[in-house]
């Protein structure tokens, strides 16, 4: 029952993580109540899915001009905000950016600079692919910055009359005395601050729904199910069911089945993570990556060790058991720790984090209950046999796992 409950919780997490987010229609939410200085008004607006930002625009199909207002709060007082269109991709490289900050050349007020971002560093300010005019920025009393401008898109720039554009946005915590924006944070919201902007339908759809974020979600689900659920379940089957003679050899097959399926799914999750790492140039989560490699390596050793398992009566079997137990528990602990690190990186909603914690707690409670029950069985059995624990062979606990 406990195992089924844990599985149901994880299954719900899987469905929620893989479900694509809906499109956001213009004119709804917080952005609809926004007002701007100088009687500026826009035909459409969206609350963007990350960083608490919003986008307002009017698109003139005849001239190809896009009049925009981007609203966001800097990561800290004195920081900066940025919004960009990217005609060549959905990330930072290739972005044609409007960056607003308290730059020295603004005379102490907020100013806007344009950046043609060619890589994974902002570079120097300069002209961008879309002619920019009417650039301005102002800091509101609510701590949010309003960035205004007009971009000359032209028919060619939007794909021969198409109006589905890649937009990215960002916030930073500081601007140096020389006017250089400090690098932004590498949190999940920062890395996922991108979306598709449909100028005619007036909607934004999170870009990650069909690209990098979806891949990260798949990576997280595979690892949560394998290292975070199947392997602990397999260990519970081996440690506790073995005590009951009627469960022999069923406990062994349950244990091996959970571990092999868990390892196979875990390898898929690990490989997905390594591929994501290669695709995310300039972004490295060192601890998460290193723990993942360690879990994969130790898990592989566990599988290979099955081919070197001595027979029960062999004198080296006790050493093999010690190795098997130690490495197995290390894989489980490191795996669960890394799952929580991955959740922090992904910015998983608290309700799903709570659901996973609940699943882990179900397994822990089941293990604690079975620990008490099996000790009771062993105590009665040894008492009936007239034995003491000091007579246990090889100094093992009476119901230690020996597989």
Residue 338: name the closest of 261, 278, 269, 283 by CA: 269
**Can you give the residue ranges of every domain in the chain?**
37-206, 211-385
Q: What is the structure's pLDDT at 146?
A: 93
Q: Do 302 and 378 form a contact (C-beta atoms < 8 A)?
A: no
Residue 116: name the closest of 133, 100, 93 by CA: 93
In the predicted structure, residue 10 carries a pLDDT above the cut 80: no
Q: What is the structure's pLDDT at 402?
A: 44
Q: Do 115 and 276 form a contact (C-beta atoms < 8 A)?
A: no
Q: What is the DSSP string of 344-379?
A: HHHT--HHHHHHHHHHHHHHHHHHHHHHHHHHHHHH
Find out whether the peptide bond into 249 is cis, omega within 30 degrees of 0: yes
Q: Which backbone phi and psi does 130 adopt, to 5 degrees?
A: -105, 115
Domains 37-206 and 211-385 share a fold: no
pLDDT (average), residues 352-375:
90
119 or 108: which leads in pLDDT: 119
Q: What is the structure's pLDDT at 200?
A: 66
Q: What is the structure's pLDDT at 309?
A: 85
pLDDT (average), residues 221-235:
92
Predicted confidence band of residue 337 (pLDDT cuts 50, 70, 90): very high
In the predicted structure, residue 381 carries a pLDDT above the cut 50: yes
Predicted confidence band of residue 80 (pLDDT cuts 50, 70, 90): very high
Q: What is the structure's pLDDT at 144?
A: 92
**Cβ-Cβ contacts under 8 Å for 228 (sequence gap 6 or more):** 10, 335, 336, 339, 356, 359, 360
Q: Which backbone phi and psi does 142 adopt, to 5 degrees?
A: -85, 5
CATH fold of 211-385: 1.20.120
In the predicted structure, residue 288 carries a pLDDT above the cut 80: yes
344 or 128: which leads in pLDDT: 128
- Select the highest-mean-pLDDT range: 174-183, 290-299, 374-383: 290-299
pTM across the whole model: 0.53
3-state DSSP percent of the chain in helix, strand and coil, to 5: 50, 20, 35
Q: Was 219 annotated as part of a binding site?
A: yes
In the predicted structure, residue 98 carries a pLDDT above the cut 90: yes
Q: Was 56 annotated as part of a binding site?
A: no
Bridge partner list, 25: 203
pLDDT (average), residues 320-324:
89
Lowest mean pLDDT among 31-40, 69-78, 166-175: 31-40
Q: What is the structure's pLDDT at 16?
A: 47
Predicted confidence band of residue 24 (pLDDT cuts 50, 70, 90): very low
**Average pLDDT along the chain:** 80
In the predicted structure, residue 390 carries a pLDDT above the cut 70: no
pLDDT (average), residues 172-196:
87
Q: Compute the radius of gyration of the chain from its Cα atoms.
A: 28
Q: What is the structure's pLDDT at 399?
A: 45
From CA 68, how far away is CA 70, in angstroms rounded? 6
**Cβ-Cβ contacts under 8 Å for 131 (sequence gap 6 or more):** 151, 152
Task: Enter the CATH code of domain 37-206.
Answer: 2.60.40
Q: What is the structure's pLDDT at 189?
A: 83
């Amino acid at each position: 029952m406990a195992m089924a409950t844990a599985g149901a919780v994880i299954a719900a997490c899987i469905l929620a993580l893989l479900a694509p987010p809906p499109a956001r229609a213009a004119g709804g939410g917080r952005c609809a109540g926004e007002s701007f200085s100088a009687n500026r008004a826009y035909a459409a607006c969206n609350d963007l899915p990350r960083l608490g930002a919003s986008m307002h625009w009017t698109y003139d199909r005849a001239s190809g001009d896009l009049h925009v207002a981007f609203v966001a709060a800097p990561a800290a007082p004195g920081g900066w905000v940025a919004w960009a269109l990217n005609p060549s991709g959905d990330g930072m490289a290739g972005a044609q950016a409007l960056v607003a900050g308290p730059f020295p050349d603004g005379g102490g007020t907020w100013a806007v600079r344009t950046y043609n971002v060619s890589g994974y560093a902002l570079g120097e300010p300069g002209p961008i692919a879309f002619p920019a005019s009417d650039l301005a920025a102002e800091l509101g009393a609510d701590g949010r910055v309003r960035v205004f401008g007009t971009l000359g898109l032209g028919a060619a720039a939007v794909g021969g009359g198409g109006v589905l554009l890649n937009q990215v946005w960002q916030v930073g915590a500081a601007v140096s005395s020389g006017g250089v924006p400090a690098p932004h944070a590498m949190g999940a919201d920062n890395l996922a601050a991108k979306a598709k902007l449909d100028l005619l339908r007036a909607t934004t759809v999170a870009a990650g729904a069909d690209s990098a974020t979806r891949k990260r979600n798949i990576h997280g689900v595979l690892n949560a199910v394998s290292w975070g659920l199947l392997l602990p379940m397999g260990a519970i089957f081996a440690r506790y069911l073995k005590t009951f003679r009627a469960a022999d050899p069923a406990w062994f097959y349950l244990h091996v089945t959970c571990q092999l399926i868990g390892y196979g799914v875990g390898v898929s999750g690990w490989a997905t993570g390594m591929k994501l790492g290669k695709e995310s140039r300039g972004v490295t989560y060192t601890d998460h990556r290193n723990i993942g490699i360690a879990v994969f390596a130790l898990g592989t050793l566990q599988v290979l060790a099955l081919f070197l398992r001595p027979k029960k009566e062999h004198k080296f079997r006790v050493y093999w058991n010690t190795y098997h137990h130690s490495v197995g528990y290390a894989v489980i602990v490191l795996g669960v720790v890394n799952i929580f690190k991955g959740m922090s990186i992904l910015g998983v909603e608290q309700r799903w984090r709570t659901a996973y914690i609940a699943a882990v707690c179900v397994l822990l409670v089941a293990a604690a209950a079975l620990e008490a029950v099996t000790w009771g069985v062993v105590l009665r059995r040894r008492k009936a046999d007239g034995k003491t624990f000091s007579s246990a062979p090889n100094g093992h606990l009476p119901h230690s796992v020996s597989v």
